[in-house]
Amino acid sequence: MKFTVTGHARKRCARRGIDLQWISEAIQNPRETFPDLVDPDATSSALRRSAARISNTQGCGE
């Protein structure tokens, strides 16, 4: 699945020590999904309960 990481997201991930491979894994093989708290059309995905929430909206991936 293709997805785009914005410059803002890259900076946030770098500051938090989040490897972009973890982002890819969470989107492709989430262990948990839940409605996004801000965007009702989006779904958030996580590798584990304490992981950062990743928004995967229509148009972000193929």
SS3 track for 4-58? CCCHHHHHHHHHHCCCHHHHHHHHHCCCEEEECCCCCCCEEEECCCCCCCEEECC
Quick check: is 19 in a domain? yes
pLDDT digits (tens, 9 = 90+) for 10-24: 999 999 999 999 888
Quick check: is 1 in a domain? no
Percent of the chain's residues with pLDDT above 70: 74
Does the predicted TM-score (pTM) go above 0.85? no
Quick check: is 25 in a domain? yes
Host domain of residue 46: 7-56
More confident residue, 26 or 52: 26
Kindly tell me if the per-residue pLDDT of 28 is higher than 50.
yes
More confident residue, 58 or 9: 9
Quick check: is 32 in a domain? yes
Quick check: is 61 in a domain? no
Total tally of structural domains belonging to the chain: 1
